[in-house]
Amino acid sequence: MVKYPIWKYRYFVFFGLFLIWMTFFDRNSFLYRIKLSGEISELEEGIKTHEEKIIALRQQRKDLFGNEQNLEKYARETYLMKKADEEIFVIVDAE
């Protein structure tokens, strides 16, 4: 009977085939999991950014609606609103 030398290392061969299968061919491969991990970190950074924007907007809303003068100033600057007897001059920087 002839013994094959590869049969002697059958555990290493099967483990190697398993690693190749899990890395490239499986539905939940390592490469896919790495890609998903990157997407998760990007989404978590987006969540932090949006939470900071929400905090800033809440503070701005508190400032605007807390005082009538601040609301009028904001409306004049942002939406170019004016009173009936005023004129508005818009200065634009040439870049």
Looking at the predicted structure, is the pLDDT value of residue 54 above 90? yes
Residues of the chain above pLDDT 70, percent: 95
Domain range list for the chain = 5-79
10-28 average pLDDT score: 84
Distance CA 47, CA 23 (A): 30
Burial 71-82 (b: 16+ CB within 10 A, else e): eeeeeeeeeeee
Distance CA 14, CA 16 (A): 5
62-87 confidence digits (pLDDT tens): 888 888 888 888 888 888 788 888 88
Contact assessment for residue 23 and residue 31, using Cβ atoms and an 8 Å cutoff: yes
Q: pTM of this prediction?
A: 0.54
